[in-house]
Amino acid sequence: MPRKIEFDPQAAVTDAMGVFWEKGYVGTSYDDLVAGTGVSRASLYKAFGDKKAIYLKVLDRYKTETMQPFLKVLSAEGASIAELIGFLKDLKQYFESQDSLSRGCLFCNSNIEMAGQDEEITRKLTELLDIQRAGFRNVFVNARLKGELYATDDIERLADTYATTLMGLGVMAKTTLARTIGVNTLNNLISDLESRLSS
């Protein structure tokens, strides 16, 4: 009879996420995962497989527990410019509250390090980007229906621009100076969107 795996796989994925977030994919060894999860090498391998298999599980967890809740306000039915402004103000408040170096955004870090390096990982990262872009597109589709966009605005370009900006902000969150630039960027976006509602 196979030996029962005596640990919580969900908790192990959560712990592994912290390790990858701190060290990156390349910088994380299997020994790091063993130390970070408190699970033996044999048990980890039996439950998940190799390092890449664990990383793919981490990206799935990040999608369901971090990215989708984070973007929920943008993905909601009827979400429009007002919801986007609220989203950006919350993000600005987060930036302003950080008084020390941060790990940045796991999704952004992973894109910088791994996009194009491995087919399976790249596919997962593309899926995350698509979810992010879909949230912004939903906002701008609704804004068009409500007459909140200028006649010259292109929904697809706006969605791409905001998704790219959010990615850049995730990278900037890693240093104090860059966070200042991030706050200024968010102020500009908020001001532009507020002018649309008042015009």
Where are the chain's structural domains?
1-55, 71-198
Rounded Cα distance between 22 and 102, Å, is 10
Q: Which fold has domain 71-198?
A: Tetracycline Repressor; domain 2 (1.10.357)
Segment 35-61 shows an average pLDDT of 96
Segment 44-70 shows an average pLDDT of 96
How confident is residue 104, by pLDDT bands cut at 50, 70 and 90? confident
Q: Residue 112: in which H helix or E strand, if any?
A: helix 106-114
Predicted confidence (pLDDT) at residue 6 exceeds the cutoff of 80:
no
CB within 8 Å of 61: residues ≥ 6 apart? 13, 14, 17
pLDDT score for 158? 97
Q: Whole-model pTM?
A: 0.89
Segment 51-70 shows an average pLDDT of 96
CB-facing half-sphere around the CA of 109: CA atoms within 13 A: 20
Comparing 52-66, 115-129, 167-181, the range with the smallest average pLDDT is: 167-181
Q: Which fold has domain 1-55?
A: Arc Repressor Mutant, subunit A (1.10.10)
Residue 54, classed as helix, strand or coil, is helix
Q: Which of 196, 187, 67 minimizes the C-alpha distance to 132?
A: 67
Predicted confidence (pLDDT) at residue 199 exceeds the cutoff of 80:
no
Q: How far is CA 30 from CA 12, 72, 147, in A?
A: 13, 34, 53
Segment 58-73 shows an average pLDDT of 96
Segment 158-169 shows an average pLDDT of 94
Segment 91-106 shows an average pLDDT of 78
Q: How far is CA 131 from CA 12, 14, 78, in A?
A: 25, 21, 17
Q: Percent of the chain beyond pLDDT 70?
A: 95
pLDDT score for 96? 82
Rounded Cα distance between 168 and 77, Å, is 26
Please, what is the average pLDDT of the chain? 91
Predicted confidence (pLDDT) at residue 125 exceeds the cutoff of 50:
yes
